[in-house]
Chains A and B, each alone.
Chain A
Amino acid sequence: MLFQVFVNGISLSLIYILFALGLTLIMGIFDICNFAYGEFVMVAGFAMYLIIGKWGLPYFLAPIVALVLVSFLGVIFEKAIFYPMRNRGGLEPALATFGVSGALQAGALLLFGGNPKGVPAIINGEVKLGSAYFPLENLPVIIGGLLMIFLLFLFVQRTKFGLAIRALQQDQEAAALQGMNISSIRIVVWVIASCLAAAAGILLSPISYVIPSMGQGLLLKGFAVVIMGGLGSIPGALLGGFILGFVDSFGQTYLGTYSYMFAFGFIILILLIRPQGLFGRR
């Protein structure tokens, strides 16, 4: 039992990490909240449902479609909301995303109804490891999650774009003065963040339910992770997501309804000790 909770914790951690990485990227560079980020995950989840569950198409098609679809969504967000409103301060774009979030959820509700949809996992069953059982559905999550994170690191640390993004994180004005093409870099950032959200949705859908409001709870937690880890900090998102995944897994199993509070209480505690988050700067 403990082992399963542990494995569950790893899966959850990876999903939270992916989500938080995307969120911290957006918040660190654009300095706004994207309240519709949870809906990115939802869109990916429904894409998975439609392609595998409803239409019965080959499994490998679904993640690709999900990634493309959500990236498209991210680019639309950038072009329609964030770039035009980039000078209007942080609140207006955030409010706009709030509206879109509600609209997306309502749209999904209309199209699909409120009943939870299932997405079959790639691998089913369990493997016996000693005296514990390892649920195999977690395997793709763990492998996929680690792969995505690894790819992200390669991109950010080794490529020119990655360097540009890191520069933007430090100082947007200086970066612009150095002649970097800010608008295209912004689009790249959005695509990356969207892919991260889509990945979270892809990995989440087989092990959880797909419903229109699935993004909401995730957003709340993702946000808490980002704040706890420090806004814009990648190591912070990693550590924060990791911690929250385990806290959540253990909380859900052993504390039941109080797990929500436990997670939040934990985060508040960290913030009280270190208001800028674990890795934030002052």
Chain B
Amino acid sequence: MALLETKKLTKRFSGLNAVTALDLSVNKGQILGLIGPNGSGKTTTFNLISGVLHPTSGKILFKGKDITNYQPHTIARMGIIRTFQLATVFQDLSVVDNLQVALHYKSGVGFLQMLLETPEMARRQNSLVLEKATKLLDIAGLNNLASQKAGNLSAGHQKLMSVIMALAGEPEILLLDEPMSGLNAEEIQTLIRLVKSIREERGTSIIMVEHNMKVVMEQCEYIVVINFGQKIAEGTPSQIANDKRVIEAYLGSE
């Protein structure tokens, strides 16, 4: 059984068909690429899966359970976490504070607890969270920037941050929305390494929306191509590379 499945997922915006009858499926530990020309509905698909938008029709199934129309935070808690293209981190908070916020839900400490706990308990809780935050920063190699204001970091570093912040929620599926955009070659390599290690060590499935064809072809095991909100092709990278419809879609839209 696929980990995540969409069945005939459709989203209409007052006359505009953003996504039409999209069938996707992702297995455990798989890296799936979602590609297509600009405006083909990739981000809308992510918005639908993560609950930010509700579909006009169709279903989303996670581990066989129907999660269509669930709230975004519920979906995140169930194990589907995404990154965003823009506004990736909390600009005004420090790097480590960003991670602390990301870890907040998993820390299991609610408002009432924070009120009632003794200073001793509070200190222990906080150091636990700080430990986890530091470990995550280690993975991305950002520990030396921990106290910097997140808004001052380079785009590449902010992207790395957004990935480990998503990781903080211990997701089973990671949705990466154009993670490579705005990064230089070195940063791309770092991010690829990070993503790969996430898959290797935690068995996390990854769906990647990307424009960088090289990255997609090299890293994804399976690719779905959409145009005008509809799936026009799917297959392994080599199958896609030779697919006439895909080539047409990209050339035709230039």
A282 to B14, CA, bound (A): 11
Q: Which of A164-189 contact B (CB under 8 A)?
A: 170
5 of the cross-chain contacts (CB-CB < 8 Å) are A170-B13, A170-B14, A281-B13, A281-B14, A282-B54
Binary contact track B12-25/A, C-beta < 8 Å → 1, others 0: 01100000000000
A1 vs chain B, min Cβ distance (A)? 43
Query: Within 8 Å CB of B54, what residues of A?
Result: 282
Query: Within 8 Å CB of A282, what residues of B?
Result: 54
| Number of A residues, CB within 8 Å of B | 3
Chain A residues with CB under 8 Å of chain B are 170, 281-282
B250 vs chain A, min Cβ distance (A)? 20
A170 to B54, CA, bound (A): 17
A282 to B72, CA, bound (A): 13
A227 vs chain B, min Cβ distance (A)? 19
A170 to B18, CA, bound (A): 13
A200 to B14, CA, bound (A): 30
A69 to B14, CA, bound (A): 36
A170 to B13, CA, bound (A): 9
The 5 closest A-B pairs by CB, nearest first: A282-B54, A281-B14, A170-B14, A281-B13, A170-B13
CB closest residue in chain B, given A282:
B54
A281 to B54, CA, bound (A): 10
Query: Within 8 Å CB of A170, what residues of B?
Result: 13-14
Query: Within 8 Å CB of B13, what residues of A?
Result: 170, 281
A170 to B14, CA, bound (A): 9
Query: Within 8 Å CB of A281, what residues of B?
Result: 13-14
A150 vs chain B, min Cβ distance (A)? 23
A184 to B54, CA, bound (A): 34
Binary contact track B51-90/A, C-beta < 8 Å → 1, others 0: 0001000000000000000000000000000000000000
A264 to B54, CA, bound (A): 29
A282 to B48, CA, bound (A): 12
A170 to B16, CA, bound (A): 11
A13 to B13, CA, bound (A): 30
